[in-house]
């Protein structure tokens, strides 16, 4: 009976470095993505942010950046999903909210145009 | 109560926190592509055929609109613009409506040999109306007069024939009304003044003004040159008013109003990019 809490603690200790590794790997992908996006290499940036969310699906900032990359490529459905994921993970982040609001404004206009066709 | 030293410490901490947070976000300009309203991928070429123009006699709405749209499409779309004679659509529509008129199918398009489209008018150059003086009942002054001519846009055989003549392009046609407009009403203006201490004071003042200007209301119709059927239509309206002291030529007003509509017209046919900024996060 006494073994179980110890086992759980050991398991937790072992899993923390793995989680930390995922986040640090994702973080370096995000940082590199930002650098290349600033140089205008959006495809490379998107690839990096896709990698980041693959490594750490709970990384709200990476989802936000990925949404921006999709938006820049005109992939509105993917962008919306990525923004919504970012907001789901970090609902109080005002910068993500602001990006999403700006995106929605353009997206709504596009939807209206499609409706007009 | 917080002591001044504590307050300063809190303020500097806030600044530090703010500056640390700054390193975690980056504002970046982006260009969001907006797909055109119409799918024109199956067309390589566009023919701005001509318009049923009306309104003032000072501007030949048909000729000027054709020149302007061709020039804009040449520089801002991927479609090749066909340089052809401007169709005198009013005359063609009038002929169609006559019972003794020759069927449009038999009449080769543009066979009336209208004047070829010259290069875009130089600034300040006045446009000469393409047609000579018309009888008053034939003149198009307003929306009601235009209704008589609308049938031509539904004439599939007519447009198919024109399409065949120019190897099946996308055809742009429609109606353009450029009418004088007068508005006498109270207008609120901000009047600037300075008080005894030299401070600037802005006071809203309502004044009665007589203003004159123009209304430009085109209806752009896009026709498939392969089938002669209508693909899309876009109705727009813009107006401009000037005070009685301003003496602006009709042609200048026409171009000013058209300038406002051109982005919307182009977005029907080609991808437009919306510039903005987003925030990347670490």
Residue B138 pLDDT > 80, yes or no? no
The pLDDT score that the predictor gives to residue B197 is: 87
Quote the CA–CA distance of A41 and B175 in Å, as a whole number: 45
The answer to whether residue B103 sits within a structural domain is yes
Full set of structural domains in chain A with CATH: 21-116 (1.25.40.10)
- First vs last Cα of chain A: how many Å apart? 69
* Residues present in chain B in total: 282
Quote the CA–CA distance of B62 and B88 in Å, as a whole number: 8
Once rounded to an integer, what is the mean pLDDT over residues B45-74? 94
Instruction: Quickly count: other Cβ atoms within 10 Å of residue A80's Cβ.
Output: 17
Residue B115 pLDDT > 60, yes or no? no
pTM as predicted: 0.63
The answer to whether residue B99 sits within a structural domain is yes
Domain that holds residue B155: 28-181+212-281
For B159, residues 6+ apart whose C-beta sits below 8 A from its C-beta are B171, B173, B223, B225, B228, B229
Res. B15 pLDDT band, cuts 50 70 90? very low
A108 touches chain B (CB under 8 A): no
Quote the CA–CA distance of B52 and B91 in Å, as a whole number: 9
A53 touches chain B (CB under 8 A): no
**Complex prediction ipTM:** 0.82
Q: How would you classify the pairing of strands B200-224 and B170-194?
A: antiparallel
pLDDT tens track for B187-234: 888 888 898 888 899 988 888 888 899 999 999 999 999 999 999 999
The answer to whether residue B7 sits within a structural domain is no
The answer to whether residue B122 sits within a structural domain is yes
Instruction: Judge whether B54 and B141 are in contact, CB under 8 Å.
Output: yes
Q: What is Dmax (Cα atoms) for chain B?
A: 99
A39 touches chain B (CB under 8 A): no
Average pLDDT over chain A reads 85
What is the token pair recorded at B213? 């200007």
Average pLDDT over chain B reads 80
pLDDT tens track for A13-65: 455 555 567 788 899 999 999 999 999 999 999 999 999 999 999 999 999 99
Instruction: Report the Cα A17 to chain-centroid distance in Å.
Output: 21
The answer to whether residue B247 sits within a structural domain is yes
Residues of chain B that touch chain A, judged by Cβ-Cβ distance less than 8 Å: 25-26, 28, 30-35, 37-38, 232, 274, 276, 278-282
Residue B124 pLDDT > 90, yes or no? no
Res. B105 pLDDT band, cuts 50 70 90? very low
The answer to whether residue B164 sits within a structural domain is yes
DSSP A58-100: T-HHHHHHHHHHHHHTT-HHHHHHHHHHHHHH-TT-HHHHHHH
Residue B21 pLDDT > 70, yes or no? no
Residue B134 pLDDT > 70, yes or no? no
The answer to whether residue B202 sits within a structural domain is no
Q: How many domains does chain B have?
A: 1
* Residues present in chain A in total: 117
Q: Do A65 and B32 touch (CB under 8 A)?
A: no
- The C-alpha angle with vertex A56 and arms to B28 and B17, in degrees rounded to 5, equals 50
The answer to whether residue B259 sits within a structural domain is yes
Quote the CA–CA distance of B212 and B171 in Å, as a whole number: 35
pLDDT tens track for B150-166: 889 999 999 999 999 99
Closest CA to B31 of B278, B218, B280: B278
Residue B131 pLDDT > 60, yes or no? no
Q: What is the DSSP letter of A21?
A: H
């Amino acid at each position: 009976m006494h073994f179980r809490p110890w086992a759980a603690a050991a398991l937790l200790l072992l899993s923390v470095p793995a989680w930390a590794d995922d986040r640090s790997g994702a973080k370096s992908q995000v940082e590199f993505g930002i650098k290349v996006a600033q140089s205008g290499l959006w495809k490379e940036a998107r690839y990096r942010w896709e990698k980041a969310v693959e490594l750490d699906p709970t990384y709200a900032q990476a989802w936000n950046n990925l949404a921006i990359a999709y938006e820049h490529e005109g992939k509105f459905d993917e962008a919306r999903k990525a923004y919504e994921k970012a907001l789901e993970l970090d609902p109080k982040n005002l910068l993500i909210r602001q990006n999403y609001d700006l995106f929605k404004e353009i997206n709504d206009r596009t939807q209206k145009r499609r409706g007009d066709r | 109560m917080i002591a001044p030293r504590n307050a300063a410490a809190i303020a500097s901490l806030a600044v530090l926190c703010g500056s640390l947070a700054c390193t975690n976000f980056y504002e970046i300009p982006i260009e969001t592509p907006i797909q055109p309203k119409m799918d024109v991928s199956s067309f390589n070429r566009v023919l701005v055929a001509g318009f049923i123009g009306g309104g003032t006699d000072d501007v030949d709405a048909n000729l000027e609109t054709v020149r302007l749209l061709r020039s804009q499409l040449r520089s801002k779309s991927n479609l090749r613009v066909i340089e052809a004679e401007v169709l005198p659509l009013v005359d063609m529509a009038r002929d169609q409506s006559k019972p003794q008129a020759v069927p449009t199918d038999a009449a080769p398009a543009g066979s009336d040999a209208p004047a070829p489209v010259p290069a875009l008018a130089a600034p300040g150059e006045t446009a000469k109306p393409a047609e000579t003086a018309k009888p008053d009942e034939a003149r198009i002054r307003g929306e009601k007069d235009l209704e008589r001519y609308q049938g031509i846009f539904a004439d599939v055989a007519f447009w198919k024939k024109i399409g065949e003549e120019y190897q099946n392009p996308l055809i742009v046609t429609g109606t353009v009304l450029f009418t004088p407009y007068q508005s006498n009403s109270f207008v609120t203006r901000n009047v600037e003044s300075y008080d005894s201490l030299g401070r600037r004071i802005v006071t809203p003042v309502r004044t009665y003004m007589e203003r004159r200007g123009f209304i430009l209301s085109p209806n752009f119709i896009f026709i498939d040159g392969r089938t002669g059927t209508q693909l899309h239509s876009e109705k727009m309206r813009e107006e401009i008013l000037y005070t009685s002291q301003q003496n602006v030529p009709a042609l200048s007003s026409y171009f000013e109003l058209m300038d406002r509509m051109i982005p919307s017209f182009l977005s029907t046919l080609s991808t437009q990019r919306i510039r903005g900024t987003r925030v990347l996060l670490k």
